[in-house]
Amino acid sequence: MPPVRVLLSCPSDSPHDELRQILAAAGFSIVDHLLGSAPAVDFAAIAVAVIEVGAKVDVAVTQTRRWKAELGDHCVPILWVATPGQAVVGFEAGAEAVATQPLQKEAFIAQIHALIRVQALTARLALRAHETRLLGDQLGKVMAQLEREHALVRHLHALLLPSAFSAVGAAHFRIGARSAAAAWSDFYNVFPLDEEHVAFLIGDVVSSPVVSRCGVSVLVQQTVRSQLLADRRSPIVPPADILTAVNQQLLAVGGDDPPLVAMLVGILNTHRGELALARAGLPPPVFVPRQGPLELWNSPGPFLGTAAVSCESLTKTLQPGDRLLIGTHGTRPDGDPCPATDQPLGQAASRHRDATGAAFVDAVVRELLPCLRHADDMTILMVEIVA
């Protein structure tokens, strides 16, 4: 292992060579420097710089400050060898240590070794800081790439969601939504089946890695579509059976973080107003009749994707002027279940039931938005029977 190099800066009129002898006897390699000389010093391999001050205090101060400026973030400790009266000046100039005359050899060498340890520790910390900066840069690039991918998925998710629906017979469908950039997990659609029947669905990917939520919603919608349209000659598949098929598809995905989905599927006869629907995990839909009190259609139904489930179809009849509001979990202030008597969606619908069509949905959404305390999507699908 090569000897440690010590820079020794002495005035031209230094009366003796005591410092050189002490440093050489301790095994250090000495790099000579004339105190106050102008040429720049190569500090790359220097462990400690020793300045013998003598009578040239001002020169030592100027040189110390110049070296500190040249060193920048590179650490080379500076040790002054001075009289006791010069110690304060040395520290104020930037020296890390001051050895006072007359020197005690053992203490002087111990100071040198202590400063070498300081330099080594500082070098390790600088290396760690550099590695941390590199890691931060890499992490920043990864996060930027991830955000670009998320933006692409958000864009694709938005393209997959219809912004409006055509009327199917007497049935009109309206959507009111708030899309949260951190979630974008809600999905909905309407499928005309024949001249009399239309199917609709609305759902929420409750638990799944963020980027895969779009894929899960596509899987769910494709499963529903295949169940409804596989064979037009067969009777229409009941909504409960459709949810069972969706659940089987989700269970087949597997993995350490399986998707958890809440959704509702309904099939409506637009001529007779006969409606069959099945719910799995979503808040109960709110029935807003043309006249009379509002009702919560609280049919049982567990979340999909965790285990084999059994869902029940609920059968109702919608008359002209009746409306049905189905909301995702985002319609609740905290996104969590609440008592059936305290459903915010039902309360907002009751206050704005005099409005119709898009004006009704917009009024309900405007009332709910200020109350939300979560970063989840909020979606409301309205089914309305018009004369």
Residue 300: HSE in the Cβ half-sphere, 13 Å Cα cutoff? 4
Q: Which pLDDT score, from 0 to 100, does residue 22 have?
A: 92
Give the integer Cα–Cα distance in Å for 261 and 186. 10
Q: Which pLDDT score, from 0 to 100, does residue 121 have?
A: 92
* First-to-last C-alpha distance (Å) of the chain: 97
Domain match, 191 and 298 both: yes
Q: Which pLDDT score, from 0 to 100, does residue 255 have?
A: 67
The CATH number of the domain holding residue 59 is: 3.40.50.2300
Q: Which of 21-25, 144-148, 240-244, 365-369 has the lowest mean pLDDT?
A: 144-148
Q: Can you read off the two tokens belonging to residue 385?
A: 């029977």
Residue 341 clears pLDDT 60, i.e. is over it: no
Q: How many domains is the chain built from?
A: 2
Q: Please report whether residue 141 resides in a domain.
A: no
What angle, rounded to 10 degrees, do the helices at 213-229 and 105-160 form? Answer: 20
> What is the average per-residue pLDDT within 317-339?
80
Residue 167 clears pLDDT 60, i.e. is over it: yes
> What is the average per-residue pLDDT within 24-43?
89
Residue 283: HSE in the Cβ half-sphere, 13 Å Cα cutoff? 32
Q: Please report whether residue 134 resides in a domain.
A: no
Domain match, 89 and 194 both: no
Query: Residue 255 phi/psi, 5° resolution?
Result: 95, 170
Q: Can you read off the two tokens belonging to residue 39?
A: 């040429």
Domain match, 213 and 90 both: no
Q: Which pLDDT score, from 0 to 100, does residue 211 have?
A: 52
> What is the average per-residue pLDDT within 77-92?
94
**3-state secondary structure at position 235:** coil
Domain match, 375 and 251 both: yes
Domain match, 54 and 198 both: no
Per-residue pLDDT band for 158 (boundaries 50, 70, 90) equals low
Provide the Cα torsion 35, 37, 40, 42; round to 10°.
-40
Which one-letter DSSP state was computed for residue 323? Answer: E
Q: Which of 127, 146, 172 is the last residue of a domain?
A: 127
Residue type at 204 in one-letter notation? D
Q: Which pLDDT score, from 0 to 100, does residue 159 have?
A: 65
Q: Which pLDDT score, from 0 to 100, does residue 182 have?
A: 55
Per-residue pLDDT band for 26 (boundaries 50, 70, 90) equals very high
Q: Which pLDDT score, from 0 to 100, does residue 213 have?
A: 73
Domain with 24 in it: 5-127
The CATH number of the domain holding residue 251 is: 3.60.40.10
Q: Which pLDDT score, from 0 to 100, does residue 253 have?
A: 79
Q: Three-state SS string across 262-317, please?
A: EEEEEEEECCCCEEEEEEECCCCCEEECCCCCCEECCCCCCCECCCCCCCCEEEEE
Distance of CA 106 to the CA centre of its chain: 57
Q: Which pLDDT score, from 0 to 100, does residue 342 have?
A: 57
Domain match, 118 and 246 both: no
Residues 180-237: tens digit of each pLDDT: 655 567 889 999 988 889 999 999 888 655 557 777 888 888 888 888 876 555 678 8
Q: Which pLDDT score, from 0 to 100, does residue 154 have?
A: 65
Q: Please report whether residue 150 resides in a domain.
A: no
Provide the Cα torsion 112, 114, 120, 124; round to 10°.
-160
> What is the average per-residue pLDDT within 277-288?
92
Residue type at 383 in one-letter notation? V
Domain match, 98 and 166 both: no
